[in-house]
Chain A
Amino acid sequence: MKLNTLKPNKENLYTYLVLGVSLLAVGFIDIVTNTFLNLNITGFLPVIISFLSPLILGVFGLHFIRIEYSGNKTLDRINKNFNSNNINAILSLIVIFILIKYIPPLLNWLFFEANFLGSTKKDCTGDGACWVFVRVWFNRFMYGMYPDAEQWRINISFIALLVSIGSIFVLPSKFKKYIILFLLFIFPIIALNLISGGIFGLEWIETGAWGGLSLTFIVSAFALIFCFPIGVFLALGRRSDLPAIKYSSIGFIELWRGVPLITVLFMSAVMFPMFLPDGTYMDKLMRVIIAITLFEAAYMAEVVRGGLQALPRGQYDAAKSLGMGYWRMHLLIIMPQALKLVIPGIANTFLALVKDTPLIFVVGLLELAGMIGLAKTNPKWLGMATEGYVFAAFVFWIICFSMSRYSQNLEKKLSTDR
């Protein structure tokens, strides 16, 4: 049989398949032995060629198996997705090699060589992560300095929140309205009173002691609930025909968008009390929540305004021609459509808000990341920053990813296919 090395084709399919796969296999064996056995089977070659040998072997291998319409479905799919030309072949190989080289050590660090059991740093004997740190500090990471004996109050609030949210999906839609109203207006007050105490014989726990993940949730939840309606009103205000409303909205939005959140938080903690009349006092956490709310509301306003701009003028005309006034038109016609259009933008702002909460450390409030920052400076646990922040990243990722999934579901559910 005549081997045409430049043009593999259907006739000599199997010859080339065997040749290509063997070359690939040698390449992979090379990289695997190199990574895990510290054995360089191409060590007899000059250094640079030895280093690149898996790539070179792989590229030739992939070149040989690149046969169009081979009739073999698996082969065709591989060729189409990973191996459509030489450059893509190189990129595919590089990505695969990087994964082979770095995933196993990462897994080792995270799980196989990590220590989970124990109660002090000395129990961490393996080479991997010291999850004992997270275990020991877990309570603090969740509840901050909140007294252990009173933590049931946070737990109950959180469970009540989950149950009422869950019941929205389970109960018939008739009750939905009431549950949402309860969640928006009554629940926050109950939860806040329960957590802070001072009534019904509950011990008063000042907000300075709140912290950890529960504080992340409290700050995010309040800021989310309030920044949305404020943003909507600002967006409407910016499009108003009345100059006073229009320019004050523009002024507000541009002011808050123009300053970094961290300065806003500083101002709320340091400057704001100076403007208050003597003897009045406003809780630090409250000030921080208001600051974050107004800050994010400015962003929300611009997101919502984007949706308003995107609606055709005909929708306004039609609503007006049916005798609807300004508020009815916006409530029934404009907002439902505009908000649906900007769900991705709203989700974006909400995610940014949740991820901005760690910044409240500048005023001395320690939510999850802040508590970790504190714990890692404990003399008994020095050097645990990596574990702590990996844990924080993981928790934030879970929260944000669920929000992101929810927004995608909402988008799908609300689409009425234009």
Chain B
Amino acid sequence: MTNIIELKKVNKWFDKFQVLKEIDLEVKPKEKIVVCGPSGSGKSTLIRCINRLEEHQEGSIVVDGYEISENTKNIENIRAEVGMVFQQFNLFPHLSILENCTLAPIWVKKLPKKKAEELAMENLKRVQIVDQATKFPGQLSGGQQQRAAIARALCMEPKIMLFDEPTSALDPEMIKEVLDVMVDLAKGGMTMIVVTHEMGFAKEVADNMIFMDEGRIVERAKTNDFFENPKSDRTKLFLSQIL
């Protein structure tokens, strides 16, 4: 099977500070990858580079067959294929939940309004907040907002979903409802790259684990191997602290 995402020798600097160093990564369709590591290790930057919310300076990133730094005109089409869920939800506060979900399908994919609404209701049902559709984001709890954000991304019917610490800004009680939705999504066969510290979720869902530190991928392994016998000392130290 060909890779849906392929990173080769990606380097990125913020001014003089190098945040990504020689990153190589291949993701196959339907593969689930969990990225973990200490804060400041470049995990978020890595997945933000994949849909070019951040620009990398060296190396190549190929998403669904397109080299994204060459296709700058085409970048919106590539982004439409890649859904993203953020730590801070980033719902549009001036629009209702339903409008949040229909806006991009109507304006970017040019779906008729009615069809977009059907699609939105379907996805809201999937994340179990159909009853909140007419409310505004400010009226929802954090967990509901994050599920709405997942539904919004799903409405674009993306091939890949990127999750940037989706549960880090949530109360412990709400983390589970969001993780449940993500597990459900994973079982549905979505290609997922998830930056998270939720190791329970990782064990349940991930095919592969990636451990990053100081801008490098320190370890990449099958999920079982990663937790059972990690190779590098840095990984062992990290796991001993987090588990």
Chain A residues at the B interface, C-beta cutoff of 8 Å = 312, 314-315, 317-325, 328, 332-333, 336-337, 340, 414, 416-418
Contacts and interface: CB of A to CB of B under 8 A. Distances in A.
A359 B136 CA distance: 46
A249 to B, nearest CB: 23
B107 A417 contact: no
A338 to B, nearest CB: 10
A321 B83 contact: yes
A322 B94 contact: no
A322 B156 contact: yes
A220 B4 CA distance: 58
B86 A314 contact: yes
Contacts of B11: none
A317 B107 CA distance: 17
A333 B93 CA distance: 9
Interface string B64-98: 00000000000011011011101011111110000
Contacts of B51: 320-321
Contact of B92 (A318, A321, A328): A318
23 contacts: A312-B88, A314-B88, A314-B89, A317-B53, A318-B86, A320-B53, A321-B82, A321-B84, A322-B80, A322-B104, A322-B108, A322-B152, A322-B153, A323-B76, A323-B156, A328-B108, A333-B103, A336-B94, A416-B93, A416-B94, A416-B136, A417-B136, A418-B138
Given A322-B79, A332-B107, A314 B90 contact: yes
A337 B136 CA distance: 14
B72 to A, nearest CB: 11
Contacts of A340: 94
Interface string B24-65: 000000000000000000000000100101000000000000
A162 B82 CA distance: 49
Interface of B: 48, 51, 53, 76-77, 79-80, 82-84, 86, 88-94, 103-104, 107-109, 136, 138-139, 149, 152-153, 156
Given A323-B79, A323-B108, A416-B138, A318 B103 contact: no
Contacts of B153: 321-322
Nearest to B108: A323
A416 B156 CA distance: 25
B76 A325 contact: yes
A242 to B, nearest CB: 14
Given A323-B80, A417-B139, 20 more contacts: A314-B90, A317-B84, A317-B86, A317-B90, A318-B84, A318-B90, A320-B51, A320-B53, A321-B79, A321-B82, A322-B104, A322-B108, A322-B153, A323-B79, A323-B108, A323-B156, A324-B108, A328-B108, A416-B93, A417-B136
A332 B103 contact: yes
Given A416-B138, A417-B136, A320 B79 contact: yes
A318 B108 contact: no
Contacts of A337: 92-94
Q: List the 5 closest A-B pairs by CB distance, nearest first.
A: A323-B80, A318-B90, A322-B104, A314-B90, A321-B84
Nearest to B86: A314
A170 to B, nearest CB: 25
Contacts of A321: 51, 53, 79, 82-84, 153
A319 B76 CA distance: 10
B81 to A, nearest CB: 8
A19 B103 CA distance: 71
Nearest to A322: B104
Contacts of A418: 93, 138
B21 to A, nearest CB: 24
A342 to B, nearest CB: 14
Contacts of A416: 93-94, 136, 138
A336 B92 CA distance: 10
Given A317-B53, A418-B138, A324 B92 contact: no
B168 to A, nearest CB: 14
A107 to B, nearest CB: 47
B71 to A, nearest CB: 13
Contacts of A328: 107-108
A338 B91 CA distance: 15
